[in-house]
Chain A
C-alpha cells in the first residue's frame, strides 16, 4: 500500500531550457543537423538580403524629376516618386484629387477605428463603413451632383481604381456569397438548384473570361442605346465571380456547425432567418475567417486582371509608365513597387484576420 500525504513543492524548470540560451538551444542548435541547417540558412540570408538592402535603400535615389537624378547605381525610386500622382489617381483630373484624398483619409480613419480595440459604438461605425461610406464614395468619385464636376470612369486609375474594385468586390461578394450558400443548403428544390447552378457556372469559368464577357459580349446582347459603364460591368463580373467562391467557403463553414446547434435554435422557436443570423452564421463566419480572408486576398490581387479590358489599375498604370521612352529600363523598380503595394494591403488583411480570430475566440470546443 502507498500513501503519500506530503505535497511536493513546485520547482523552477532547469535553466538550460529557459531564456535566450534555452530558446537557441532547443530551436536552432538542438542537433548537429539542425546546427548545420541554421548556419546554411544564415549564409543564404546574408548572400541575398545584404545586396537587396544595398540596392533598395543604401545605393538608391529617391527624389528628382528625371532619370538624370539616378546616379548612385542602386534602385531608381525617382521613377516612382516622379509619377506617384499618376499611380495613385490614374488620369483623375488634378484639380479634383482632393476628392480621392478625402476618401483615402476617410477609409484610413474608419478602418483604424474598426481595428482599434477600444473604439466605442463599433457596430454603428461598421454600419456606416458598409452602408453610408460607399454612397459618399460614389458621389464624390463620380461627381455630377452637389456642384462637383463629373469625372468619367475611364479617367479613374492607379491605386484608386484597384481599391474601388477590391472594396466593392469584397463588400458585395460577402452578402451574395452568404445568400448563395444558404440557398444551396435550402430544402426548397428550386432555390437549391438555382444556387447550385449559379455557383458551379461562375466557379468553372476563369475570371479573365468573365471580364471579357462583361466588356465585349454583354454590349452585343443588350440594345445599343443602353450603355453600361465599362467599370460597372467589370465590377458586376468580379462580384458575381467572387460571390460564387465565397458561397463555397461559407457553405463549408455552415457544414461544420453541429446539428445540435440547429436543433437547439429550432427548439427555442427561432425562425429560419433568426436561427441563421443569430446562431449559425456568427459561428460559421468565425470558423471561416481564414477562408474568407483568403478569398478576399485572392480577389484583391485578381483585380489586376482588369488591365486586359483596358482599365488602368495600379499594375496596368505602372506598366504603361514603363513604356514611356523617358523611363525605359526601370521595370524592376516599377514591379517591385506594385508588388510592395499589393503586399501591404494583403498582409494588412491577413494580420487583421488573425487579430479577429483571436478576439472572437470564446474557446472551448463547441458542442
Chain B
C-alpha cells in the first residue's frame, strides 16, 4: 500500500512536469500579452520592450520555462499580468467555489443516478426502465449551458424561486449544480444499470437468492457493491470533465470560480494565471484519481494495491 502510494506520487511529479511544459508552451502560442495589455495606450516600441522586460518575457522560452519551474517548486507562479497580484493566490482564492460547485454537481449526479440506475436494472424491459433510459439520454445530450439558461428562465425569472446568478448560500448552488451534474447523472444511470444487469445475472446472485436472502439484501449487499467498481472509475474520470464543464457553467451563473478565471485569463493572455490554474487543477485531478484507486480496495476486498 505505502509502496504503491510512493510510486504513484513519484509518477505524478512527471505528469505535472509534462503538463506544465504543455501549458507553458501552448499559452505562449496564443500571442503577445504585452500588446494586449497596452493596446489602449497607443504605446511606442520602447514602451512595449520595457513592459516585456518587466514581465520577464524578453528571454528565450526555454530560459523562461526553467525560471518558471524553479520558482513554481517554491509555490511562486509569478504575478498576474491583469491583477498584478500573485497568480497562485488568485487561483487558490477561487478554488473553493469551483470545488463546491463540482462536488455539488457530483452529489446531484449520484443522488439521481443511484436510485434510477437500480430501479431501471431491476425492472428491466418495463416502461419504467424505458422512461429512465430516455431521461438519462436526455440528460447526457443536453448542453449544460443550455439547461442552465432554461433553469434560469423557469426558476429564476418566471417563478422567482431561486436567485438567477451569483454566489452565496445553498440556494445559489442549486441551479448550477443541476445544470453541471445532469450529464454525469445520465452517464452514471446508464452505467449503473448495465453494470447491475451484468452482476444480477452472475451465479453468486442466484446463490444468494437461493439461500433465501431478501431481494433487497441481494441488491444492496451483493449486487450493488459489485456493480460499483466501474461506476467509481467513471466517477473519478468524470471529475475532470466536471471541472471542465464548470468553466461554462461558472460563466452562465456568474459563479466566481477557477473556470471563469481561466477563460478570462486566456482571453487576456494572462500567462501566469493560466499556468497556475491548469497545474493546480491537474494536481486536484491526480489526487481524486488516486483516491478512487484507494477506494477500490474498500469496495472490493479482492483488489490490493501492491
A binds B: no
Residues of A near any B CB (own CB < 8 A): none
